[in-house]
Structure 1
Amino acid sequence: MTDEAQLHRLLLDRLTSTGSLRTESWKRAAAAVPRHEFLRGGFFRRAVGSDFTAWEPVRQGDPGWLEGCYTDESLVTQIAGTIVPEDVRGRISREPTSSSTLPSLVLRMLEELQVEDGRRVLEIGTGTGYSTALLCARLGEENVTSIEYDPGVASRARAALGHLGTYPTLVTGDGLLGHGADAPYDRVIATCGVRTVPTAWIEQARPGGLILVTVGGWLGASELARLTVHEDGTASGPLLGGGVSFMLARPHLAPPLGLLPDLEDGKERETTVEAEVLNNWTSRFVVQLAAPDAQRVTMQRDGHTEDVLVDVETGSWAAVWWGGDRWLVRQAGPDALWDRVEEQFSRWCAAGAPSLEEFTVTVTPEGQTIRW
């Protein structure tokens, strides 16, 4: 058995034992798709011994490259929108913009998609092409359409898929618009996060079809949702739990904050909701529903730590800190931002602090709601 085959088998055994890989049909698909074929361009790993988040390239043939391909980890494949491993010598400290998602999550999502033979799938976010290849192995390439926003990423995925003799319909463009030419689809699956589920996906799915997507926001909390498309053109369904996180689709990314407001200007009062709600995944998701256009900044001011929310749409802001014997908030702008947070958080607590699996997402022509 080759090193590639042995590492591949060990990974599949781990995914099976942890429950990410459950059904025989997906086990066969996973066995047919070697992950290293989609990482021949290399990946980035976190640099050790740096005071800031830095990345260093691992190229094909480098020590640890093949073993890295078969770890159950997400591997960064692009930095700052254009930079790939072959472009870098040494370290780089820019933000990741594309990655190969950890196999356990890829296969968990494909299992959650509840596909059957002959189902037609629209995939949003081709990425490296690994998940696309798995869909093709399970359903046949003629039933898979995949869209990638980034032309460079799309080109590399096309080459990797072609190297394996796999030729689904590959589209370069805005995945948020779907691909009407091949509609309707039985399933839609997104490997990027969204703030709101695009209506195009609902319009291009058959009634009774499923949409699997991570719904999140600018405070960094997100969750996997599985929506059923209804005859009336709406869609609804539960959050599935597990704290799933993907990079937001580029059109859904937060805009630059720019200059912060004058944090001395505003009304100060005591608050019953402490800043710790922003550190817990579930409570942060609840806060995010109350302040969907807010971004968070943490800073040291006057000898204490302040957590600041800034609403980039309205200019409203709120700063929360521990005053030594109580929690305080100072806020200003056209909207009382922390008042909204307190109201939403208090309602959630009064309901018994339900888990995210008890939340339901509903999308209609009027917009999206998430309620417990």
Structure 2
Amino acid sequence: MDWKHHASALAERITDPDSRWRDAVASIPRHTLIPNWWERGPEGWTLHQGEDDPERWAQIAYGSESAVTSVGGHHADYAAPGDHPTGLPTSSATLAALVVKMLRHGHIGDEHDVLDVGTGAGGLTAYLAHRIGSQHVTSVDVDPYLVNTAQLRLAALGLRPEFKAVDATGPLPGEYDRIVSTVGVRPVPVSWLGALRPGGRLVTTIRDTALILTAWRTPDGGAKGVIERDWAGFMGTRHGANYPPGPTDLFKAARENDGEDVTIGRYPVADVRNGWEIWSFLSVSVPGIEYDYEERDGRRIAYMIHPDGSWARAEATRFEPPTVHQGGPQRLWSELESIRTRTLVEGGLPLYGCDATVSPDGMIRLSRGRWSAEVW
């Protein structure tokens, strides 16, 4: 593979000519960090090995998509071709454009000590170490395999940042001028605020949203900043090799039951996760909602569930008003429709660009005009 050609083209595509990240993007052979990955297909998650398909390997490493490298804690690096793991993705190699986006939000200077939360395949760590020097970079992940593997692969590139296998929601190994996270959190871990030096800057996403929070540490031990007019989505933090089992019984109820409330909805069925602002606002307003969506026999079906036992199912063909079934203490689809109506009436939602204040205990308070919300 002519990786230098691919890396140079990637750098030209995702960075400005005067960007301080351009040389890092052009100099890192990203494909060496992603030798194997999982792709979802008709048989479920299927292993792909770069050496078997160099063209696809180049697309994954230097293109515009993220590569899932672990599913349910089953790493692609030591999988067999016939393996088909089940569960949620537990690690990925984030697409380079998104990595650079998060780094830009960090306002990182050459003298700053930076903590990378969520080592993954090590791409962000490599860009950091190349630009500001390995001595200024620490990378942490809850999965020891990811940490050890990234350490070996970056060392082969002449990069030797510090790596630690830790649960990032707990104690952190040092103090830093910048923390850049490629995992979502909710609330902000208290340990992050404690590890930020006075005046330090935090960049992360709020879990189960597409919201990028940037904030400067304040003297009271909290932080103050904004929700950027930008978006990104990452896996949430976890405390072990895998996420806990999902609420399959509630999804079963959403698929099969009639519910106590059957109505005709106002708006066509859509996968709310593709409407990032609406999804994020709903997640802030009613935290804990999970979603599923499918298209079957020309019909669109959306499902929503909540840990309190609430569920909703909406089904329709294309742009027709859906039949909506709801059960449990909350009317989840009704909450979604009220947000969609607000978007039409007000021309948008007050999330992006709103003020964000992080209290010393990690609670995030969002506010814009007369609207406010607390994120726990």
TM-score normalised over the length of structure 1:
0.81
Match of 2:260 among 243, 248, 266: 266
Structure 2 residue 74 is matched with structure 1 residue 82: yes
Q: Structure 2: how far apart are the matches of 1:70 and 1:299?
A: 30
The one-letter amino acid paired with 2:212 is L
Given the alignment, which residue of 85, 101, 108 partners 2:101? Answer: 108
Could you tell me which of 197, 219, 223 is aligned with 1:235? 223
Do the aligned residues in 2 keep the contact of 1:319 with 1:331 (CA within 8 Å)?
A: yes
Deviation at 1:66, TM superposition (A): 5.6
Q: Which amino acid aligns with 2:206?
A: V
C-alpha separation in 1, matches of 2:90 and 2:169: 17
| Residues 1:55 and 2:46 aligned together | yes
Unaligned runs of 5+ in 1: none
Instruction: Kindly state the Cα deviation for residue 187 of structure 1 after the two structures are TM-superposed.
Output: 0.7
Kindly state the Cα deviation for residue 206 of structure 1 after the two structures are TM-superposed: 2.3
Q: Which amino acid aligns with 2:23?
A: R
Of 170, 178, 186 in structure 2, the residue corresponding to residue 187 of structure 1 is: 178
Whether the 8 Å CA contact 2:310–2:327 is kept in 1: the answer is yes
Q: For the residues of structure 2 that align with 1:10 and 1:237, how far apart are their CA atoms?
A: 34
Partner of 2:214, secondary structure, is strand
Question: How far apart in 2 are the matches of 1:22 and 1:225?
Answer: 25
The one-character-per-residue Cα deviations of 1:189-230 (angstroms, maximum 9, x if unpaired) are 01122243222212221232211112231xxx4232212222
In the TM superposition, 1:134-283 aligns within 5 A as: 134-179=127-172, 181-183=173-175, 185-217=176-208, 221-251=209-239, 255-260=245-250, 261=253, 263-269=257-263, 272=266, 275-276=269-270, 278=272, 280-283=275-278
Matched ranges for 1:118-129 at <5 A: 118-129=111-122
1:311 to 306, 311, 315: 306
Separation in structure 2 between the aligned mates of residue 366 and residue 74 of structure 1, nearest angstrom = 29
1:13 counterpart letter in structure 2: E
Structure 2 counterpart of 1:116, one-letter code: G
- The corresponding residue for 1:284 is 279
User: Residues 53-83 of structure 1, C-alpha deviation per residue, up to 9 Å, x if partnerless?
Assistant: 4423214465436634333432222233123
* 2:2 partner letter: D
CA–CA distance in 2 between the matches of 1:360 and 1:347? Answer: 20
Q: 1:169 to 1:310 in 2, by over 3 A?
A: same
Return 5+ residue gaps in structure 2 as ranges. Answer: 369-376
Shift of the alpha carbon at 1:14? 2.4
Return the alpha-carbon distance in structure 1 between the equivalents of residues 362 and 188 of structure 2. 12
- Displacement of 1:159: 0.6
| RMSD over aligned Cα atoms | 3.4
2:374 counterpart residue number: none
1:86 and 1:60, CA in 2 relative to 1: closer, same or farther beyond 3 A? farther
Q: Decide which moves more: 241-250 or 136-145.
A: 241-250
Letter in 2 for 1:89: P
Distance 1:224 1:46, change over 3 A: same
Q: Distance in 2 between matches of 1:200 and 1:81?
A: 25
Cα offset, 1:366, TM superposition: 7.0
Aligned to 1:11: 10
Give CA-to-partner distance per residue, 1:114-154, whole Å, 9 cap, x none. Answer: 11121111110111222112111222222211101111111
Deviations 1:305-342 (A, max 9, x none): 65332211x21233445699855644343444455445
Q: What amino acid does structure 2 have at the position aligned with 1:112? A: H
Using the TM superposition, give the Cα deviation of residue 349 of structure 1 relative to its aligned residue in structure 2, in angstroms: 4.7
2:266 touches 2:322 (CA, 8 Å); kept in 1? yes
1:12-47 per-position Cα deviation (integer Å, ceiling 9, x unaligned)? 22223xx4x752x322333443223323xx122637
C-alpha distance in 2 between matches for 1:215 and 1:206: 21
For residue 287 of structure 1, give the secondary structure of its aligned residue in structure 2: helix
Query: How many residues are paired up?
Result: 356
Residue in 1 aligned with 2:326?
A: 331
Q: For residues 226 and 112 of structure 2, what CA distance do their matches in structure 1 show?
A: 22
Report the counterpart of residue 36 of structure 1 in structure 2: 31
In structure 2, what is the Cα distance between the partners aligned to 1:61 and 1:310?
41
Greater displacement, 266-275 / 156-165:
266-275
Matched, 1:70 2:62: yes
Aligned-partner Cα distance in 2 for 1:166–1:246? 25
